[in-house]
Amino acid sequence: MAQRTLEPGEIETLAQRDIPRIILPERGTLFPARAERLRALVEGNPIGGYLAMLALVVDAQQAELDGLTAVQLQALQQSALAQQPAAAADAGMPPLHAASVRRDAHWRVLLRSLCRRCAGHAGFPDAVGATLARVIEAPDDWLEGQADALLEVPGAPPVDVAAAPLVMAALQVYWLALGLAFRIEALAPMADAPGLCPLCGFQPVSSMVHAKAPHAAYRYLACGLCACQWHYVRVQCSRCGTAGKDIAYQSLTALDASADAIKAAPVRAETCEHCHGYRKILYEEFGPEVEPLADDLGTLALDILLGEQGYERASQNPLLWHPEQE
Ligand SMILES: [Zn+2]
Ligand SMILES: [Zn+2]
């Protein structure tokens, strides 16, 4: 049977129409899958101890999420949605903009409760125990300032690097809870800022090429805050938008492996010669268990390799802060 050949423009239009643009996280599975992946990455990892500890924090995140009653959840969502002026939605502003939403005080309840859960666990060293106690007892103002700092609110105080992963963990629970009010049909990647989360405006932690229908072979950026994923074309820098010959890929197998092995690495760095930045790209086809936040943390050696070559991380992992990043 004869078929008409599509012109490139037509192919693009068809592709745009058919690609599922948004993937939203599920309340019951995001954190458990992340915790399981963190645990799977512990053995032989230079920061294995940290990954094991974070897995406990992620368990606590799920416990906090499970602990929200339907009434609490609805109240949190309504208070955030009521702040969304129609004009902002029309202007393409993300509806749960991280730096603009006035957070309900309940996020601090989540934070202190999460810290108490962790404090009751034997898996944390003394230094972390001290940080947990410090966060539990910290004044509300200080916690709000720390949240502002992590969410890049202008004028925020410096980040407390020890407390940052805990504060961020609570913010992730809060934003995931808010995001549950949305359906994928209500969202689309932002035309003006395709590299930022269309739900909360935060930076992606990494990107992932999915292997399962209907997302197979498409690349999505994964939000470091609310865990929304949005479509982003492949072979294009998610930091500056440059595409084509300036984009290259590196993996930890690159130095001593065959080209086939490099192609089969489940985690690679997508580097850009235009902005000298990189972000990691995960391939579900080669690692069915990969998880955007966990696998980014689990491949710190790749960051070191790229740092030595002068490439800059496009954005940091929300659960790992270094003093020099203040
Ligand atoms: Zn987001
Ligand atoms: Zn770039």
**Token couple for 32:** 């458990």
Whole-number Å distance, alpha carbon 313 to ligand 2 midpoint, is: 10
Give one word for 229, left, alpha or beta, with left for phi > 0 and alpha for psi -120 to 50: beta
Name the nearest CA neighbour of 300 among 57, 51, 47: 47
Determine, yes or no, domain membership for 20.
no
pLDDT value at position 79? 92
Same domain for 222 and 318?
yes
| DSSP line for 235-291 | SB-TTT--BGGGEEEE-TTTTTS-HHHHHT-SEEEEEETTT-EEEEEEETTT-TT--
Question: Which ligand sits closest to the CA of 97?
Answer: 1
Same domain for 154 and 290?
no
Longest dimension (CA), the chain: 73
Same domain for 216 and 234?
yes
Same domain for 36 and 164?
yes
Determine, yes or no, domain membership for 119.
yes
Determine, yes or no, domain membership for 192.
yes
Whole-number Å distance, alpha carbon 200 to ligand 1 midpoint, is: 4
Determine, yes or no, domain membership for 5.
no
Of 181, 213, 243, the residue at which a domain comes to its end is: 181
Same domain for 53 and 176?
yes
Q: What is the pLDDT of residues 125-172, one digit of tens each?
A: 889 999 999 999 999 999 999 999 999 999 999 999 999 999 999 999
Same domain for 159 and 278?
no
pLDDT string in tens for the chain (326-residue length): 455 666 666 655 555 668 999 999 999 999 999 999 999 999 999 999 999 999 999 999 999 999 999 999 999 999 999 987 665 666 678 999 999 999 999 999 999 999 999 998 888 888 999 999 999 999 999 999 999 999 999 999 999 999 999 999 999 999 999 999 999 998 999 999 999 999 999 999 999 999 999 999 999 999 999 999 999 999 999 999 999 999 999 998 755 566 677 778 899 999 999 999 999 999 999 999 999 999 999 999 999 999 999 999 999 999 997 654 43
Q: What is the pLDDT of residues 44-88, one digit of tens each?
A: 999 999 999 999 999 999 999 999 999 999 999 999 999 876 656
Query: How many structural domains compose the chain?
Result: 2
Whole-number Å distance, alpha carbon 190 to ligand 1 midpoint, is: 12
Name the nearest CA neighbour of 249 among 233, 230, 228, 265: 265
**Token couple for 241:** 């938008």
Of 146, 181, 216, the residue at which a domain comes to its end is: 181
Same domain for 54 and 175?
yes
C-alpha span between 55 and 61 (Å, rounded): 10
Same domain for 208 and 309?
yes
Residue 235 neighbours by CB under 8 Å, 6+ apart? 243, 244, 247
Other Cβ atoms less than 10 A from the Cβ of 10: the count is 11
pLDDT value at position 326? 37
Whole-number Å distance, alpha carbon 274 to ligand 2 midpoint, is: 5
Other Cβ atoms less than 10 A from the Cβ of 38: the count is 28
Q: Give the structural domain span for 252.
A: 188-325
Determine, yes or no, domain membership for 251.
yes
Same domain for 273 and 315?
yes
Determine, yes or no, domain membership for 17.
no
Same domain for 159 and 230?
no
Whole-number Å distance, alpha carbon 225 to ligand 1 midpoint, is: 5
Determine, yes or no, domain membership for 288.
yes
Helices (H) and strands (E) in the chain, counts: 12, 8
C-alpha span between 31 and 309 (Å, rounded): 33
| All residues with CB under 5 Å from ion ligand 1 | 197, 199-200, 202, 223, 225-226, 228
CATH number at residue 271: 3.90.1670.10
CB 150 within 8 A of CB 171: yes
pLDDT value at position 125? 87
Determine, yes or no, domain membership for 9.
no
Same domain for 321 and 202?
yes
Of 181, 200, 228, the residue at which a domain comes to its end is: 181
Same domain for 175 and 128?
yes
